[in-house]
Amino acid sequence: MRILTGIQPSGKLHWGNYFGAMKSMFDLQDKGENFMFIANYHAMTTVSDGKQLRESTRDVALDYLACGLDPEKTVIYRQSDVPEVQELAWYLSCLTPMGLLERCHSYKDKMAHGFEATHGLFAYPVLMAADILIMNADLVPVGKDQKQHLEVTRDLAQKFNNRFGEIFKLPDAYIPETVATIPGTDGQKMSKSYHNTIELFDPSAKKKIMGIVTDSKTVEEPKDPETNSIFGLYKLFATEEEVAQMASAFRAGGYGYGQAKKELLAAYRRLFDPFKERRDALQRDPDALEDILKAGAAKARQAAAPIIEKVRKAVGL
Ligand code: ADP
Ligand code: TRP
């Protein structure tokens, strides 16, 4: 089984990305043939500063490697190092109905958030389909918000097969039901667009945790743990027993939000301090990082080669 996922380097990765996407990918590392790529072409739909794009691409690679991606088990590469992706995107574009893209939520969302209506943003799902189909992926771990893009991918694969012969497998999205929407410091979904994130290696993590918005109940008052985001976040880091303890402390009263925030900070550090050490070591050796990405790209291109060959022949080139 081939498992593939990608992430855009469009800002620093945060807890929502870790628990919503990265972790489920790491959990699958022993379950198949794994590919993970940094979608730097996709990021260009929203990032227009070259230096920033280059740095974010490197940061995402460092974050994945530090937090658990093992390059012996998972091929990690930059999207732009595999030109076959762009080539396939064009072939798919030629059979993509406009209406299919017009229905995509992500495009409409971006418009609602004031982004310029570019062709790149509009065609984003076609490029994503190309990422997936060029690697012949069976399973694509993504967040809930990407479900529609997987439907578009299947749709395009089917259209291509109908027109040119059976070349593509229809990939399945892997959206673990256990992964909830991770709340941000303001209680809304954690997202860089809402400026409510805590980054994976955030130097101001403590300040952000202490600043998590709560209601104004006093320490003495009993509280419903399910309605505050401190508890929602603590659940991600803590053991079942610790979670049960915090829940009953909240319900009993005499347990304040400040105390809960301190416990959340400690639980975060317990998980992330070792990752930070690994990240610092990787960061000190940029050549080694480049070697990992180059080796990944070579393997990805090897996997793409037979597919693009068949596709070129099928379309008449
Ligand atoms: P952002 O919302 O900060 O722009 P992205 O859209 O780039 O994040 O998300 C990349 C991946 O991380 C996606 O698979 C997405 O579903 C997952 N993800 C991001 N934020 C959250 C969240 N708050 N809860 C769960 N998963 C998330
Ligand atoms: N659109 C995805 C996101 O924002 C990133 C992505 C691009 C992707 N291409 C992909 C994910 C292919 C999985 C497979 O999260």
The answer to whether residue 181 scores a pLDDT higher than 90 is no
Element (H, E) at 291: helix 286-315
Average pLDDT in the 73-88 region?
Answer: 98
The answer to whether residue 205 scores a pLDDT higher than 80 is yes
In the reported structure, the alpha carbon of residue 182 is separated from the centroid of ligand 1 by a whole-number distance in angstroms of: 9
In the reported structure, the alpha carbon of residue 298 is separated from the centroid of ligand 1 by a whole-number distance in angstroms of: 28
Q: Is 84 in the pocket of ligand 2 (CB under 6 A)?
A: no
- 287 contact partners, CB below 8 Å, separation of at least 6: none
Percentage of the chain lying above the pLDDT 70 cut: 99
For the question of residue 189 being annotated catalytic, the response is: yes
- Please report the pLDDT score of residue 246 as a whole number: 97
Average pLDDT in the 133-144 region?
Answer: 93
Average pLDDT in the 192-219 region?
Answer: 95
Of 310, 277, 254, 308, give the one whose Cα is nearest residue 90. Answer: 308
Domain boundaries defined on the chain: 2-179+286-315, 201-279
- Please report the pLDDT score of residue 165 as a whole number: 97
Instruction: For residue 149, give the ligand 2 atom closest to its CA.
Output: 1
pLDDT in tens, 222-253: 999 999 899 999 999 999 999 999 999 999 99
The answer to whether residue 152 scores a pLDDT higher than 90 is yes
Q: pTM of the predicted model, to two decimals? A: 0.93
- Please report the pLDDT score of residue 178 as a whole number: 66
DSSP 226-253: GG-HHHHHHHHHS-HHHHHHHHHHHHHS
Shared fold status for 2-179+286-315 and 201-279: no
What is the C-alpha R_g of the chain? 21
- Per-chain mean pLDDT for the chain: 95
- Please report the pLDDT score of residue 164 as a whole number: 98
Ligand nearest to the CA of 149: 2
The per-type count for the chain, helices as H runs and strands as E runs, is 14, 5
Confidence at 175, pLDDT banded by 50, 70, 90: confident
Question: Which CATH number, 3.20.20.20, 1.10.240.10, 2.160.10.10, 3.40.1190.20, labels domain 201-279?
Answer: 1.10.240.10
Q: Count Cβ atoms below 10 Å from residue 99 Cβ, excluding itself.
A: 7
Pick the catalytic residue: 73, 189, 276, 299? Answer: 189
From residue 314, alpha-carbon distances to 16, 38, 296 in Å are 41, 29, 28
- Of the ranges 70-74, 127-131, 134-138, 188-192, which one carries the lowest mean pLDDT score? 188-192
> If 0-12 CB within 10 Å is exposed, 13-18 middle and 19+ buried, where does residue 231 land?
buried
E-assigned strand segments in the chain: 2-7, 33-38, 74-78, 139-141, 172-174
Strand 172-174 and strand 139-141: the pairing is: parallel
Contact 42, 78 (CB under 8 A): no
- Please report the pLDDT score of residue 176 as a whole number: 77
Average pLDDT in the 261-283 region?
Answer: 97
How far separated are the first and last CA of the chain, in Å rounded?
30
Q: Count Cβ atoms below 10 Å from residue 143 Cβ, excluding itself.
A: 19
The answer to whether residue 109 scores a pLDDT higher than 80 is yes
Query: Taking the C-alpha atoms of 19, 198, 190 and 140 in order, what is their torsion angle to the nearest 10 degrees?
Result: -30
Of 123, 118, 121, give the one whose Cα is nearest residue 95. Answer: 123
Q: How far apart are CA 137 and CA 133, in angstroms?
A: 6
Pick the catalytic residue: 73, 192, 276, 299? Answer: 192
CATH architecture classification, 2-179+286-315? 3-Layer(aba) Sandwich (3.40)
Contact 258, 217 (CB under 8 A): no
E-assigned strand segments in 79-118: none
The answer to whether residue 144 scores a pLDDT higher than 90 is no
The answer to whether residue 193 scores a pLDDT higher than 90 is no
The answer to whether residue 180 scores a pLDDT higher than 80 is no
